[in-house]
A and B are shown apart, each in its own frame.
Chain A
Amino acid sequence: MLELLGAGILNVLQAKYLLSLVIGTLAGVVGGALPGVTITMTIILILPFTFGLDPLQGLAAMTGVYVGGSAGGLITACLIGIPGTPSAIATTFDGFPMAQKWQPGRALWLGVWASVCGGLLGGVFLIAATGPLAAFALQFGPWEFFSLFLFALAMVAGLTEASLLKGLISGAIGLMATIIGADPIMGVPRLTLGSEFLQGGFQFLPILIGVFAFAQIMTDIEKMGGPGPAREVARVAPSLSVSHLKVIAEILGRPFLLLWSTVIGILIGVLPAIGGSAANIMAYDQAKKLSRHPERFGTGTPEGIIASEASNNANVGGSLVTIMAFGIPGDAVTAVMLGAMIIHGIQPGPLFVSQEPRLAYGIFAAYLLAHPIMVLLVGAGARLFLRIVTVPKPVLIPVVLVFCVIGAYALNNIIENVYVLLLFGVLGYAMVKLGFPLAPLILGVVLGDQIEVNLVRAIMTDANPWLFLTRPISGTLIGLSVASVVFAVWQHHRAQARLAEAAEPDVDF
Chain B
Amino acid sequence: MLGRDGWAGLVCLAGSLGLLALTRGLPQPALVPIGPGFYPRLVLGSTALLSALLVLADLLARRRAGRPRRGEAPGPAPRPLIPPGWPLVLTTFGLFAAYVLLLPGLGYRLGTFLFVGALEAALEPRGGRRWLLIVVVAAATALVTHMVFETYLSVLLPRGRWTAF
Instruction: Tell me if A398 and B71 are in contact (CB < 8 A).
Output: no
A395, B46: Cα distance in complex, Å: 43
Q: Which 5 residue pairs are nearest across A and B when measured between Cβ atoms?
A: A183-B36, A499-B73, A394-B123, A394-B124, A500-B73
Q: Tell me the smallest distance from the CB of A273 to a CB of chain B, in Å.
A: 18
Q: Tell me the smallest distance from the CB of B107 to a CB of chain A, in Å.
A: 12
A140 at the interface (CB under 8 A from B): no
A102 at the interface (CB under 8 A from B): no
Instruction: Tell me if A433 and B73 are in contact (CB < 8 A).
Output: no
B147 at the interface (CB under 8 A from A): no
Residue of B nearest to A499 (CB): B73
Known: A169-B50, A398-B141. A176 touches B120 (CB 8 A): no
Q: Which residues of A line the B interface, CB within 8 A?
A: 48-49, 51-53, 163, 165-166, 168-169, 172-173, 175-176, 179, 183, 185-186, 188, 190-191, 193, 217-218, 221-225, 392-395, 397-399, 401-403, 405-406, 409-410, 413, 415, 418-419, 421-422, 425-426, 429, 433-436, 452, 455-456, 459-460, 463, 496-497, 499-505
- Cβ–Cβ < 8 Å partners of B53 in chain A: 165
Contact residues of B between 26 and 78, Cβ < 8 Å to A? 26-27, 29, 32-40, 43-44, 46-47, 50-51, 53-54, 57, 70-74
Instruction: Tell me if B100 and A418 are in contact (CB < 8 A).
Output: yes
Q: Tell me the smallest distance from the CB of A364 to a CB of chain B, in Å.
A: 26
A190, B57: Cα distance in complex, Å: 32
- Cβ–Cβ < 8 Å partners of A497 in chain B: 73
Instruction: Tell me if B12 and A188 are in contact (CB < 8 A).
Output: no
Instruction: Tell me if B149 and A221 are in contact (CB < 8 A).
Output: no
**12 A–B pairs (Cβ distance < 8 Å), ordered by A:** A172-B43, A176-B16, A176-B47, A179-B40, A395-B120, A398-B115, A398-B123, A399-B137, A405-B99, A413-B156, A460-B33, A463-B33
A165, B40: Cα distance in complex, Å: 20
**Helix, strand, loop or mixed for chain B's interface?**
helix
A461, B19: Cα distance in complex, Å: 28
Instruction: Tell me if B141 and A496 are in contact (CB < 8 A).
Output: no
A410, B158: Cα distance in complex, Å: 10
One of B74, B138, B152 near A503 (C-beta < 8 A): B74
Q: Tell me the smallest distance from the CB of A157 to a CB of chain B, in Å.
A: 10
Contact residues of B between 66 and 101, Cβ < 8 Å to A? 70-74, 79, 81, 83-86, 88-89, 92-93, 96-97, 99-100
Interface size class of B (residues with CB under 8 A): 35 or more
A395, B86: Cα distance in complex, Å: 19
- Cβ–Cβ < 8 Å partners of A221 in chain B: 85, 88-89, 92, 123
Instruction: Tell me if B92 and A218 are in contact (CB < 8 A).
Output: yes
Q: Tell me the smallest distance from the CB of A429 to a CB of chain B, in Å.
A: 8
Residue of B nearest to A175 (CB): B43
Instruction: Tell me if B153 and A456 are in contact (CB < 8 A).
Output: no
- Cβ–Cβ < 8 Å partners of A410 in chain B: 149, 155, 157
Interface centre among A172, A421, A452, A497 (most CB of B within 10 A): A172
A496, B19: Cα distance in complex, Å: 35
- Cβ–Cβ < 8 Å partners of B119 in chain A: 397-398, 401
Instruction: Tell me if A169 and B89 are in contact (CB < 8 A).
Output: no
Q: Tell me the smallest distance from the CB of A257 to a CB of chain B, in Å.
A: 36
Instruction: Tell me if B54 and A169 are in contact (CB < 8 A).
Output: yes
**Helix, strand, loop or mixed for chain A's interface?**
helix
- Cβ–Cβ < 8 Å partners of A193 in chain B: 22
A398, B145: Cα distance in complex, Å: 13
One of B8, B39, B137, B148 near A395 (C-beta < 8 A): B137
Residue of B nearest to A219 (CB): B83
Instruction: Tell me if A459 and B26 are in contact (CB < 8 A).
Output: no
Known: A188-B26, A191-B19, A394-B124. A409 touches B157 (CB 8 A): yes
Instruction: Tell me if A48 and B155 are in contact (CB < 8 A).
Output: yes
Q: Tell me the smallest distance from the CB of B139 to a CB of chain A, in Å.
A: 12
Name 15 extra pairs, CB < 8 A, besides A49-B153, A166-B54: A49-B148, A165-B50, A172-B47, A179-B43, A225-B85, A397-B92, A398-B119, A401-B115, A402-B115, A405-B100, A422-B100, A433-B83, A452-B39, A501-B71, A503-B74
One of A48, A405, A426, A503 near B93 (C-beta < 8 A): A426
- Cβ–Cβ < 8 Å partners of A455 in chain B: 39
B154 at the interface (CB under 8 A from A): yes
A496, B88: Cα distance in complex, Å: 36
- Cβ–Cβ < 8 Å partners of B26 in chain A: 188, 190
Known: A221-B85, A422-B100, A500-B73. A176 touches B8 (CB 8 A): no
Q: Tell me the smallest distance from the CB of B90 to a CB of chain A, in Å.
A: 10
A92, B79: Cα distance in complex, Å: 26
Q: Tell me the smallest distance from the CB of B146 to a CB of chain A, in Å.
A: 10
Instruction: Tell me if B50 and A172 are in contact (CB < 8 A).
Output: yes
A166, B124: Cα distance in complex, Å: 36
A391, B156: Cα distance in complex, Å: 29
Q: Tell me the smallest distance from the CB of B81 to a CB of chain A, in Å.
A: 6
- Cβ–Cβ < 8 Å partners of A399 in chain B: 116, 137, 141
- Cβ–Cβ < 8 Å partners of B43 in chain A: 172, 175-176, 179
Known: A191-B22, A221-B123. A48 touches B149 (CB 8 A): yes
Instruction: Tell me if B40 and A415 are in contact (CB < 8 A).
Output: no
Known: A166-B54, A169-B50, A222-B84. A499 touches B74 (CB 8 A): yes
- Cβ–Cβ < 8 Å partners of A223 in chain B: 85
- Cβ–Cβ < 8 Å partners of A435 in chain B: 4-5, 8, 79
Instruction: Tell me if A500 and B71 are in contact (CB < 8 A).
Output: yes
- Cβ–Cβ < 8 Å partners of B124 in chain A: 392, 394
One of A173, A415, A500 near B103 (C-beta < 8 A): A415
Q: Tell me the smallest distance from the CB of A484 to a CB of chain B, in Å.
A: 16
A413, B158: Cα distance in complex, Å: 8
Instruction: Tell me if B36 and A186 are in contact (CB < 8 A).
Output: yes
Known: A165-B54, A221-B123, A401-B96. A406 touches B47 (CB 8 A): no
- Cβ–Cβ < 8 Å partners of B88 in chain A: 221-222, 224
A169, B157: Cα distance in complex, Å: 36
